Structure 1
């Protein structure tokens, strides 16, 4: 993610190691059907990607990471981890990697008879001078904010952000919700993929989430994840502002989260509690 007007306030680091290109397909172990949008990456390193809608993936792995751990994870499937050199050996023998379906409990249905209050929480910036964008067009690039709730349960109705400019109207994104550990995003708390595109060139964008029945009972992180590599000419800039709710980002899938307290990306939510 980049922030700033004409000045980039921070950038992700780029590895200078020699690279080994790797590619493959991720399938469901039971049906042999491709699994779309799987997060694949070297744990706590800035190397990874997201599988395409057809389950295909391709990215480069620095030669210095051969003894690190690579992890594959997707909502609805058991995660798979292994040493990078073993992962490459498996792919060399067979380019298809399989994940086992995970039996998960349905999201709890919360029923209440109290009259709910409505509130907008998060960062409400509509600045055109301070803005943020995804960097380097890497699938899995993710950025979001910490949201504090006033009461439990809290129902998430809508996501809002002000778009400074947008030429990536066909690019797909995923919205994620995480619980918090050590002040950073930890595990996903909503077990359903919410995929969308941003069809607003400039101005307010709203994503209706009411039909998903998202309920939180404590403070959480919410992020937007880039699912497709953007072309250089395709960019989306979000409004941002100083201070506000804490922003966290990671360069790509399974990478290490970084917290940025001084700048808040302009994500906010309509909630009921």
Structure 2
């Protein structure tokens, strides 16, 4: 839920969903069938339950278990591999999962004239409003916050991705920056437009976290969802870890803010209440891309 105080302070609460009483978690690994190597930061979850997690750097994962989940479908996905769907009972019986590599389509920028992209631009919210921040609050890896980004000129060659961090009292937190395709209704899908994982780490210092993706040659011809996903926590991790990190934000007309509680959960718009007239404006997080068009 988002609440706005008289000081334009916004809170985004992404709360872990309530689940039935769980027994010991399912402990397993996700690896590549071609190499046998563990796959880092794989998304594993039950979409219908809003329950999930992210594997560690070696592909190891812990997923809560309950007998009521046996017939539910588990979705396992990672960039560069074919998504896998299987019954939770099958995962319980064989928790060591192998994913099949999937060829990544090359972007058509390679056949575009080198001088086609000359004009630098910014897409998204690059400057946060004074005294306004968004707090990401969750207990589970895979929590994700994103906003719709409109391209003024198309096609656009994406140069870098950024997020404005106002405060971090939680220690080093690793996030993944994701770019998702929108469907015909303009809603975010699960299809990622980046061909690799783009990771950033938030340190105690405030400022702009940036990732250079010029080598990815990513050309976009459509609006997209730019999202920030929590994939790794420091040790030891407390249950309220990310309540102590805040991001820049602003109120804008037509803003579209989305979140999902954890890995593979559906995208949801946060509820927004305010004790000040918003006049149709909605909150947006300071996530943005630098592009050339």
- Establish whether TM, by shorter chain, passes 0.5: yes
Structure 1 equivalent of residue 91 of structure 2: 87
CA contact (8 A) 2:172 2:204 kept: no
CA contact (8 A) 2:158 2:218 kept: yes
Structure 2 equivalent of residue 70 of structure 1: 74
Change (3 A) 1:194 1:106: same
Q: What SS class does the counterpart of residue 132 from structure 1 fall into?
A: strand
Instruction: Give the C-alpha shift of residue 174 in structure 1.
Output: 1.0
Structure 2 equivalent of residue 238 of structure 1: 247
Distance, in Å, in 1 between the alignment partners of 2:261 and 2:216 is 27
Structure 1 residues 24-54: Cα deviation after superposition (integer angstroms, max 9, x where no partner): 0111112211111111000243210111001
Instruction: Give the C-alpha shift of residue 106 in structure 1.
Output: 2.5
TM-score by length of 2: 0.82
Pick aligned residue for 2:160 from 150, 158, 164: 158
Alignment of 1:1-273 (within 5 A): 8=11, 10-12=13-15, 14-20=17-23, 21-91=25-95, 96-110=96-110, 111-112=112-113, 113-114=115-116, 116-127=118-129, 129-168=131-170, 170-181=172-183, 182-186=185-189, 187-199=191-203, 201-229=205-233, 231-232=237-238, 235-243=244-252, 245-260=255-270, 262-273=282-293
Distance, in Å, in 1 between the alignment partners of 2:52 and 2:228 is 16
Structure 1 residues 57-111: Cα deviation after superposition (integer angstroms, max 9, x where no partner): 00214443322210111111111111112221223xxxx2111111232333342
Distance, in Å, in 1 between the alignment partners of 2:12 and 2:262 is 19
Worse-superposed segment, 233-242 or 185-194:
233-242
Instruction: Give the C-alpha shift of residue 135 in structure 1.
Output: 2.0
Distance, in Å, in 2 between the alignment partners of 1:66 and 1:144 is 31
TM-score by length of 1: 0.87
Worse-superposed segment, 73-82 or 107-116:
107-116
Distance, in Å, in 2 between the alignment partners of 1:256 and 1:169 is 28
Change (3 A) 1:2 1:99: farther
Alignment coverage as a number of residue pairs? 269
Instruction: Give the C-alpha shift of residue 224 in structure 1.
Output: 1.1
Instruction: Give the C-alpha shift of residue 263 in structure 1.
Output: 1.5
| Runs (5+) with no aligned partner, structure 1 | none
Instruction: Give the C-alpha shift of residue 148 in structure 1.
Output: 1.1
| Runs (5+) with no aligned partner, structure 2 | 271-280
Q: Please, what is the CA RMSD of the aligned residues? A: 2.5
Distance, in Å, in 2 between the alignment partners of 1:148 and 1:214 is 16
Instruction: Give the C-alpha shift of residue 22 in structure 1.
Output: 1.2
Q: What SS class does the counterpart of residue 218 from structure 1 fall into?
A: coil
Change (3 A) 1:192 1:116: same
Structure 1 residues 155-213: Cα deviation after superposition (integer angstroms, max 9, x where no partner): 11222332210135532211111110233221111211112213461233333332322
Structure 1 equivalent of residue 273 of structure 2: none
